[in-house]
Amino acid sequence: MANPISVEVRERVVAAYRAGKGTYAEIAELFGVGEASVDRWLRLAREKESLAPKPRPGRAPKLDEQSRAVLRELVEENNDATLEELAQRLHERTGVKLVVSTVHKALVKLGICSSMKAASTSR
């Protein structure tokens, strides 16, 4: 999913339309956004609601910055530990309980190991 459009751009879109710089379609093209977005932002502005992006749905990640740092330390301390061992040690140190696949995904994001998909295509 792409990052949301900044509040600054949303405000500039609204200001441009209010200044008569064009139609919804022309404003959308000018700012590289969809017409539906222009329509939505103008409606929000008329109703005096915030133009800020709404929070994304879903659960917050289990691993915060501190937990990722601990995971990195665990790998540095014992770089041949299994994913299961890393999950157990992370739980002991931080109280964060993860399944092995989540530990693997975290290590991929940290750049510590490669994804299985990439490894299997490199044959």
Q: Which residues of the chain have pLDDT under 50?
A: 118-123
pLDDT in tens, 27-59: 999 999 999 999 999 999 999 999 999 888 888
Tokens, residue 87 = 């999950």
Cα 48 to Cα 45, 51, 121, distances in angstroms: 5, 9, 52
pLDDT at 119: 43
Cα 44 to its chain centre, rounded Å, is 24
Cα 111 to Cα 30, 107, 114, distances in angstroms: 38, 6, 7
- Tracing tokens 């539906």 back to the chain, one arrives at 36
pLDDT at 120: 40
pLDDT at 107: 92
pLDDT at 63: 85
- Domains of the chain: which residue ranges? 7-46, 65-121
C-alpha 58/C-alpha 9 separation (Å) is 25
pLDDT at 92: 95
pLDDT at 117: 56
The answer to whether the beta carbons of residues 103 and 71 sit under 8 Å apart is yes
